[in-house]
Structure 1
Amino acid sequence: MWLGNYCRSPLAQAALAHRGRGAVAVRTAGLISKWQDRPAHPSMTNAARRLGHDLTPHRAQQINLEMLEWADDILAMGAAVLSTLEAVSGERNAHKRSRYLGDRDVPDPMGQSDDTFHECAVLVEAGTLLHLGRRP
């Protein structure tokens, strides 16, 4: 669950699903609807491809309470997003919410170079280990 569901979260969804090898279901959504129904950012799609992930099926969507209830874990790319999720979902889902990288934010590559998107993608990919470990 991240800001626009356009850059970081589509990759996180693909990377977590890949590492989970069918044993986990991953959904992603953003806080805003600016990119609703649009594909992932082209630079992130290219960065994902370099890591072996296909983002072409992704279409952005906005978070809703049903998604928050469905989730076992609600992961935010940054502290500001986490705070907004707290305001939206209240205490009911407090035990599920955390930042994707634990104690730090995943930098938003929006408006930056392709190299920055790649660096972000590598960081998101590495973050899967925090949630799913080294699955066979």
Structure 2
Amino acid sequence: MMRKLLTVCLGNYCRSPFAQVALTRRGGAAMTVRSAGLIGKWQDHPAHPSMVDAARRLGHDLTHHRGQQITLDLLQWADDVLAMDTAVLTALRAVCGENNAHKLGLYLSDRDIPDPMGHSDGAFNECAVLIEAGTALHIGNRP
């Protein structure tokens, strides 16, 4: 059975799009991964240029990404919803409804992935490396 993961950050502009491509690459045919943001500010926009560059350095292509805002349909579609930080997780708990609450968790399970927005390219690179390393938590550990 194919596993469906949804990665969520604030705007679907940096962290969750990168997590989507990294998990898709590592998970192969065993999973389908989508991403979304809590806010619609970057709806239909490409990923942040610094994150596109960080992704490229790690062998991923983020150029086709277009931002989307979280919807109840996306939450219902997913088997697991992976929030990039505790603030996003808290917001998701407030909007997801009781039927979807069991699906929610932090991407790194015990710590936040810092939002690189407003920081240097180095912060984007560090963020991407952290997300890439975190893919191991979600590959092959569930049916």
TM-score range relative to shorter protein: over 0.9
Per-residue deviation, residues 7-61 of structure 1 (Å, max 9, x unmatched): 0011000000000112210010000000110000000000000000000000000
Amino acid across the alignment from 2:88: V
Alignment of 1:9 onto 2:9:
no
Aligned to 2:41: 34
The answer to whether 1:97 aligns with 2:95 is no
Q: Distance in 1 between matches of 2:87 and 2:63?
A: 28
Q: Return the letter of the residue paired with 1:43.
A: S
Q: What are the ranges of 5 or more consecutive residues in structure 1 without an aligned counterpart?
A: none
In structure 1, the residue corresponding to 2:82 is in which secondary structure?
A: strand
Match of 1:43 in 2: 50
Equivalenced residue count is: 134
Alpha-carbon separation, structure 2, partners of 1:128 and 1:13: 10
Pairs within 5 Å for 1:14-25:
14-25=21-32
The list of structure 1 runs, each at least 4 consecutive aligned residues, that deviate by more than 4 angstroms after superposition, is none
Matches within 5 A, 1:46-85: 46-85=53-92
Larger strand proportion, structure 1 or 2?
A: 2
1:87 and 2:94 aligned: yes
Deviations 1:74-119 (A, max 9, x none): 0000111001101111221111100000010000000111111000
RMSD after superposition? 1.0
1:128 to 117, 120, 135: 135
- More helix by percentage: 1
Q: TM-score, normalised to structure 2's length?
A: 0.91
Distance (whole Å) between structure 1 residues aligned to residue 105 and residue 123 of structure 2: 24
Q: Distance in 2 between matches of 1:103 and 1:30?
A: 21
Match of 1:122, SS state, is helix
Residue 118 in structure 1 maps to residue 121 in structure 2: no
